Amino acid sequence: EVFLDDMLHSQIQNLILRNNSHQGSVQQRLVLITGDGNANDNRTSFPDIVNIALDYGWTVELWSWGTSMNKKFSDIQRRNPSKMQINYLDQYRSKITFKQKQQQQKVNNQLNSWFSPVSIFVLCLGIFLCFFLIYWWN
């Protein structure tokens, strides 16, 4: 996970540096879905990336769960209220997550409908009739 974050930071920084909002007519926007604000062992971090984007004239849209968002993002947003927007995923929880038990119950219900006693009887009867007809024709 550490090296994945480093790779993401590197790719985002590369895009920011190549698409400076101060030099173009198009307003650039960085959209991040994270709450991870840890220091990353003194390597780049998502708060660092947000600050770099803001320094280069980008606007930032951050999406995170309310309880897991690092305080650093709120601090950055307070210093840049017109350039950074924080959105919370909490209100969309039921649309973007599922409970394992509910999902498993759906699978079980589907399997039960496929393998009900009636469908097994019909399958066995069909197999019996096939063998009977093959035997009779020979």
Number of domains the chain is built from: 2
pLDDT, one tens digit per residue, over 55-110 is 999 999 999 999 999 999 999 999 999 999 999 999 988 888 766 666 667 766 66
Stated pTM of the model: 0.68
The CA-based diameter of the chain, rounded to the nearest angstrom, is 88
Shared domain check, 117 and 62: no
- The reported pLDDT for the residue numbered 84 is 97
Instruction: Residue 118: give the domain boundaries.
Output: 100-137
Last residue of a domain, one of 59, 75, 93: 93
* Residue 74 CA: distances (Å) to CA of 4, 37, 64, 66, 67: 24, 11, 11, 11, 12
How many other β-carbons are positioned within 10 Å of the β-carbon of residue 47?
Answer: 21
Shared domain check, 79 and 34: yes
Shared domain check, 107 and 77: no
The CATH number assigned to the domain holding 47 equals 3.40.50.1100
Look up residue 61 and give its DSSP letter. Answer: E
Shared domain check, 126 and 58: no
